[in-house]
Amino acid sequence: MTIAPLRHHARAVWSDSRLLYALEEVVETELNRHLKVAKEWMPHEYVPWSDGRDFDGIMGGEAWAPEQSKVTDIGRTALVVNLLTEDNLPSYHHEIAQLFGRDGAWGTWVHRWTAEEGRHGIVMRDYLLTSRAVDPVALERFRMSHMSEGFESDNRHSMLHSVAYVAFQELATRISHRNTGHHSGDPVCDRMLARIATDENLHMVFYRNLLGKAFELAPDQTMAAVRDVVVNFRMPGHGIPGFERAAAQMAIGGIYNLRIHHDDVLQPVLRFLKVLDITGLGPEGLRAQEELGAFMADLDAQATKFDERRAALLARRAARTEQA
């Protein structure tokens, strides 16, 4: 029998259970930091209740009509996508509870995170129905169809891939909510989405700091996970009925597109953790780092092309409006 030398051990593949155990301490630290900085807020305070009135049907009120909505067209599209994304929380909870567990600091985080996310769906639905911003019947049918499909993470096979994914995804959600608010045309909506975006930012910070610790523990494996997640990134709402069309409108509308994805979501996390500058990697990690760098450069070039096409399209639209 030979005993593996220590340097081989250092390059050994980390199993998910070993990583869970090794990260527990940083989870506890980050959880305590999170609980200190996360301010309590009340969803009901963000809803313009006095704008509300009965709908048709059982209450015999007025049916919804598009002209009742104060929100812009692009705001309506994005609000529905963002709310349906939040609505699938039971599936997200199931995914992370299975992966991170329900005990100890991990479990406390999983439940706390779920409770915070629950507020997002509550406040958005209350706002949308009270202000008559979107068609309530279509919204409910979308929710039923979306939730009936459930959500299965692309990264459920691996702890590191999951931690990397949620770090980027929480920031993507933050940016999408924030930009939806800015383009909604309703200051009440903007204020509500800004509040949600603050939560999403704290979620991102939690996972990003965890990812930083994972880089210290298992640099090569974490680099490979980050490369895989960045290269294959999909928004959590990709299963929403009509998602492709809505995503295309949101891209043109400046809510979420390649430029925003590159500049405001991927880059901030990669830069903060200095991912492309990490040294001392083994061959696997080095290859992953190079592939990640090449992917980012290519994405930047694609984003520039997209920006040009978008600018041309918006100029044509503006010219048409002026003629009309």
Binding-site annotation: residue ranges for Fe cation: 86, 117, 120, 170, 200, 203
Using CB under 5 A as the binding rule, the residues of this chain from 132 to 171 that contact Fe ion are 170
254 Rama class: left (phi>0) / alpha (psi -120 to 50) / beta: left
Query: Closest separation between CB of residue 193 and Fe ion, Å?
Result: 10
Q: Which of 165, 200, 175, 315 is nearest to 257 (CA)?
A: 175
For 313, the token pair is 């399209």
**Under rule CB under 5 A, residue 208 binds Fe ion:** no
**Under rule CB under 5 A, residue 125 binds Fe ion:** no
Among 146, 203, 208, 213, binds Fe ion (CB under 5 A): 203
**Under rule CB under 5 A, residue 120 binds Fe ion:** yes
Query: Closest separation between CB of residue 204 and Fe ion, Å?
Result: 8
Which C-beta is closer to Fe ion: that of 205 or that of 275? 205
The CA-atom distances, in angstroms, between 201 and each of 23, 136, 229, 232 are 21, 29, 19, 22
DSSP annotation string for 183-231: HSS-HHHHHHHHHHHHHHHHHHHHHHHHHHHHHHH-HHHHHHHHHHHHH
**Under rule CB under 5 A, residue 95 binds Fe ion:** no
Is 288 in contact with 215 (CB distance < 8 Å)?
A: no
**Under rule CB under 5 A, residue 178 binds Fe ion:** no
Query: Closest separation between CB of residue 120 and Fe ion, Å?
Result: 4
Query: Closest separation between CB of residue 82 and Fe ion, Å?
Result: 8
Size of the site for Fe ion (CB under 5 A): 5
Which C-beta is closer to Fe ion: that of 170 or that of 228? 170
Is 256 in contact with 238 (CB distance < 8 Å)?
A: no
- Window contacting Fe ion (CB under 5 A); options: 113-121, 143-151, 159-167, 316-324: 113-121
**Under rule CB under 5 A, residue 200 binds Fe ion:** yes
- Window contacting Fe ion (CB under 5 A); options: 66-74, 111-119, 214-222, 294-302: 111-119
Could you tell me where the DSSP H helices lie in the chain?
A: 6-10, 16-37, 73-87, 89-100, 104-130, 136-149, 159-183, 187-217, 219-231, 243-252, 258-260, 267-272, 283-323
- Window contacting Fe ion (CB under 5 A); options: 58-66, 89-97, 114-122, 147-155: 114-122
- Window contacting Fe ion (CB under 5 A); options: 25-33, 197-205, 282-290, 296-304: 197-205
Is 225 in contact with 159 (CB distance < 8 Å)?
A: no
Query: Closest separation between CB of residue 200 and Fe ion, Å?
Result: 4
Q: Which of 190, 74, 80 is nearest to 134 (CA)?
A: 80
Among 117, 126, 186, 220, binds Fe ion (CB under 5 A): 117
Query: Closest separation between CB of residue 240 and Fe ion, Å?
Result: 15
Q: Which of 8, 26, 217 is nearest to 106 (CA)?
A: 26
Where on the chain is the footprint of Fe ion (CB under 5 A)? Answer: 117, 120, 170, 200, 203
